[in-house]
Chain A
Amino acid sequence: SQQGEEDPQALSIQEGENATMNCSYKTSINNLQWYRQNSGRGLVHLILIRSNEREKHSGRLRVTLDTSKKSSSLLITASRAADTASYFCAPQFGTGANNLFFGTGTRLTVIP
């Protein structure tokens, strides 16, 4: 399977702490995307990192990419209860979203 694999499957932290989620994949990618899904809702795109980038920031989000290890991480700093959601990585192995493969996600719970 070409899907990304997230680790851990579930994560529970206190509000204000940082949350780190990891993603591994198996073959070369064009880019890697992270999405969030609140319970009962559709996925929301968070950030895209291209294969020639090593780090990217967006607000409280920091994404790193190590193509030599075929892995990425998503760091959410100073977490809030509203960050409670499932987070999915999606490596893209070619052009077009038909080459985007979603993992099974990390379920993050932020305790107020």
Chain B
Amino acid sequence: DAGITQSPRHKVTETGTPVTLRCHQTENHRYMYWYRQDPGHGLRLIHYSYGVKDTDKGEVSDGYSVSRSKTEDFLLTLESATSSQTSVYFCAIRKDRDTGELFFGEGSRLTVL
């Protein structure tokens, strides 16, 4: 157990509504990541954080924003959800300073109608 909790685990929302997904870690790791997983695309990095208030974009960041006001929490926000953002979202943390070995949460399934 990597001490990662994602919430909510499931959410159904309508196009145009804002959505925030939360990732909470209990182990004080510096690096946190948000991925989305879609059939045929594997996992793609949305945004990542390398410290409180320090974030950067990943491969598929358009339409998403993130915030990290505390070490333990990394929030992913969809300002105005679209059907193309229907996906499973995974949070991950990096424990090893020298490698990219990641530990993942259980995922948040988001459906945008």
A63 within 8 A of B: no
A98 within 8 A of B: yes
Besides A42-B90, A45-B102, A102-B35, 9 new A-B residue pairs in contact (Cβ under 8 A), listed by A number? A33-B99, A42-B107, A90-B100, A95-B100, A96-B31, A102-B44, A103-B42, A104-B40, A104-B41
B101 within 8 A of A: yes
- A22 shortest CB reach to chain B, Å: 15
* Of listed B31, B40, B100, B102, residue having the most chain A CB within 10 A: B100
Which residues of B have CB within 8 Å of A101? Answer: 59
**Chain A: interface residue total (CB-CB under 8 A):** 25
**Chain B: interface residue total (CB-CB under 8 A):** 26
> Which positions in B face A, CB cutoff 8 Å?
4, 31, 33, 35, 40-45, 48, 56, 58-59, 90, 92, 94, 99-107
**In the complex, number of A-B residue pairs with CB atoms less than 8 Å apart:** 64
> Which positions in A face B, CB cutoff 8 Å?
3, 31, 33, 35, 40-45, 48, 88, 90, 92, 95-105
- Docked-complex contact B102 and A97, CB < 8 angstroms: yes
